[in-house]
Amino acid sequence: MSAHLLFLVTEDWYFCSHRLALARAARAAGYRVGVATRVREHGEMIRDAGLELHPLGWRRGERRPWREALAVVEIARLYRRLAPDIVHHVALKPVVLGSLAARLARPAMVVNAVAGLGFAFASPGWRAAVLRPVLRAALRRALATRASSVVVQNPDDAAAVGALGVAADRCHLIPGSGVDTARFLPLPEPPGPPVAALVGRMLWDKGIGEMAEAGRLLRGQDVTLELVGARDPDNPACVPEATLRAWDASGAVRWHGAVDDVRAVWARASIAVLPSYREGLPMSLLEAAACGRPIVTTDVPGCREVVVDGETGLLVPPRDPRALADAIARLAADAVLRRRLGAAARRRVEAQFAREIVVGQTLDLYARLLAGRGT
């Protein structure tokens, strides 16, 4: 009988963008694969991939404790009913609530994927400061069980979970979700004045405010700054729509909203930017690098794993609009430098972050866990 693998993810769109390729590969390798998630617009895509879909009633931005408790009960019932061999919790909320459910239902093995430490660890605001010790305590409890393995995306997060008591032999560094290098191909330098684009959710923690201020500082220079991505009202760091529209109206930075195919962004933009405060491993930068775009990003966990400063892009201090503007201006003024860094960025993605590499590392982890169990 094939092993049963079940993913627990908050939203169906996130599963499709970050874990669908892994699930397909697991199914091709002989696993029975299921997905437990909130279903909105991507349920058919999940089913069409041959995966079992288990809709959940939870919501990513939920803050009411009694609703979270009901979610734990719902997940525990699902685990008892399905009796999976491996449950793979993806991101902080599934890690915390899924681990509580696992204590009740006791699935065979748990993989806790800490895909970045999120708002509470990245934001300098008071709400994050209040939430941080609570989340740290919840993570310590969630990750403490010897029955679980922990996957992190960068060395800083590995150190962070180690400080929570996770033994080194239970912590596995797997760099992100992998990039489809056959789909994201090197693109020619677009004609006209350079465009520097930030692709991501419109969150303060992504450095959206710093990007807008850099645009104001660069006004009048031969470069255009763009924000590409939707707002995320479930996240407490969401930038108000009125603020985004005011920036757009001022001409400091153009806000385009979400796009169906991010390759269209890199067809017109010659510089990728992400002045984030902290990441797991930003997919948006890896996709830009695969398209041969040089990167300007912050010297923080997750971002600095993507960029070798001066070789594949430029690193700047976080929360520093002037340094950000200077780095963008440097690349905008030097087409030769852009092409050199962009070509090196593509080579780095092929060597370290290609989808087949990352998916293979995760499947190897599953196989080791099952072998240790005697399956």
pLDDT at residue 286 tops 80: yes
The band of 374, judged by pLDDT with boundaries at 50, 70 and 90, is very low
Q: How far apart, in whole angstroms, are the C-alpha atoms of residue 126 and residue 131? A: 9
Sheet containing strand 195-199, strands side by side: 254-255, 224-228, 195-199, 271-274, 295-298, 313-316
**Are 230 and 258 in contact, with CB atoms under 8 Å apart?**
yes
* pLDDT of 114: 87
Torsion angle in degrees (nearest 10) through CA of 85, 151, 118, 329: -140
Q: Please report the DSSP string for 243-295 in residue order.
A: HHHHHHHHTSSEE----S-THHHHHH-SEEEE--S--S--HHHHHHHHTT--E
The band of 332, judged by pLDDT with boundaries at 50, 70 and 90, is very high
Q: Locate tokens 């399905």: which residue?
A: 82
* pLDDT of 1: 54
| C-alpha R_g of the chain | 21
pLDDT at residue 30 tops 70: yes
The band of 119, judged by pLDDT with boundaries at 50, 70 and 90, is low
pLDDT at residue 309 tops 80: yes
107: enclosing H helix or E strand: none
Which SS3 state, helix, strand or coil, does residue 112 take? strand
Q: How far apart, in whole angstroms, are the C-alpha atoms of residue 116 and residue 85? A: 25
Cα torsion angle, 66, 71, 73, 74, sign: positive
Vertex 180: Cα angle to 174 and 185 (nearest 5): 130
Q: pTM value?
A: 0.89
User: 199: which strand partners?
Assistant: 228
pLDDT digits (tens, 9 = 90+) for 123-143: 666 565 656 666 677 677 777
Beta-carbon contacts of 135 under 8 Å, excluding residues fewer than 6 positions away, are 92, 96, 120, 121
What is the average per-residue pLDDT within 25-44?
96
Q: How far apart, in whole angstroms, are the C-alpha atoms of residue 21 and residue 45? A: 12
Higher-confidence position of 292 and 159: 292
pLDDT at residue 230 tops 80: yes
CA-based nearest residue to 73, from 92, 35, 34, 100: 100
CA-based nearest residue to 153, from 171, 140, 135, 128: 171
Torsion angle in degrees (nearest 10) through CA of 274, 278, 283, 289: 50
Here the tokens at position 86 are 């491996």
Please give the domain boundaries of the chain with CATH numbers for all domains: 4-178+354-373 (3.40.50.2000), 195-353 (3.40.50.2000)
What is the average per-residue pLDDT within 147-166?
87
